[in-house]
Structures are given as C-alpha cells and as structure tokens.
Amino acid sequence: MKRWLPLGLIAVGVVLAVVALLFSPSEEDRIRERLTQLEDAVRIDDGERNPLVRHGRVRKEFAEIFTKEASARIVEINDRLSGRDDLTAAATQAAIVYQTADVRFGGTDVQVDPAGMTAEVTATATVTGARHGQPVRRDELPVALRMEKVEGDWKIVSATVHPRRAPGDDGL
C-alpha cells in the first residue's frame, strides 16, 4: 500500500497539470482580456466629474496595460504621445471634453510571434461619445497595437490610430 501512494500522488499531479494546461487561457485570450481592460479604463461615465479621481483610476489601470515607455500615434490629427504618463494625462483630459465615451474593439486580429513574447494586434475601435452639450457620435477607427510580454503579462508598447476610412475605401 505504501508503495502505491507515491505513484498515486504523481498520477494525480500529472492529471491536475494536464487539466490546468487545457483550461488555462491562450496567449490570444490573454491579449483580448487586456484589450477589454483598456476599454474599461478609458470609458467616460456621465457621473465621472472629478479629474483627480479619474486620473488616479486611469493611472492604476494604465500601469497594468502599457509599458512605461509606451507610445501612441493618432495619424488623423498628427499627434504623438510618448510614455505612460502622457497617455494617462490624455485619457484624464478626455473627460473634460467628453460627457460620455465608450470604446469597443471589434474585428480583432491577434498575431503572436512563435516565441510567444511579442504580438501584433489590429482591430477596429468603435468610439461612441458625446461632447458636453452635443449629441452622441459614433466613429470607427482602425488601430494597430504592438504588445510585449513583460514579466508574464501582456502590455501595449505602441498604439497607432489610423484615419477613419470612407465607405468603399479599400485602403489601397
């Protein structure tokens, strides 16, 4: 009986490891979860009025979402942001201009490199928002993200927001 106990424990360990492997999220799933976290972080609710509270919330979320040296480029307005602090400031200031805003990523394509350390993500960001005193407006913008795995977590290194396309524009 004592001889079978170690073998039984090893078998249970192997079964648990296989189950954990089969049911753990894939790298693509983890990247998509990070995008959902970004959607939630930049959302502007109608009741979110205190810029200090918003700044603190966004800064905390962005520390998990972006690398410290992350950059963003908005092609349409020729704007470039460098560093997580600039990204946080821009997201905080958006609440001054917008009464409400919501971002959702759709049509997402994730390409993880074979080593599993970097990824290229393309998606369409659907931005729905209302400036103070204005009606709600909806825009769809193509985005490209470069992500890296940092200490086991996926973080955005760079983001590019491309100009919106006119109907029928095939991008050529």
**Residues 6 or more apart in contact with residue 42 via CB below 8 angstroms:** 58, 91, 94, 101, 103
Q: Are 58 and 45 in contact (CB under 8 A)?
A: no
Radius of gyration of the chain (CA): 21
Tell me the pLDDT band of 137, cut-offs 50, 70 and 90: very high
The pLDDT tens digits of the residues spanning 77-129 come to 778 999 999 999 999 998 888 899 999 999 999 999 999 999 999 999 999 99
pLDDT of the residue at 56: 95
Average pLDDT over residues 22-42: 90
**Residues 6 or more apart in contact with residue 134 via CB below 8 angstroms:** none
**Residues 6 or more apart in contact with residue 114 via CB below 8 angstroms:** none
- Take residue 23 and report the two structure tokens written for it: 């049911």
Distance of CA 81 to the CA centre of its chain: 16
pLDDT of the residue at 172: 43
> Domain 27-161 belongs to what topology?
Nuclear Transport Factor 2; Chain: A, (3.10.450)
The pLDDT tens digits of the residues spanning 61-74 come to 999 999 999 999 98
Q: What is the pTM of this model?
A: 0.81
Average pLDDT over residues 146-168: 89
> CA geometry: angle at 117 spanning 113 and 121, to 5°?
60
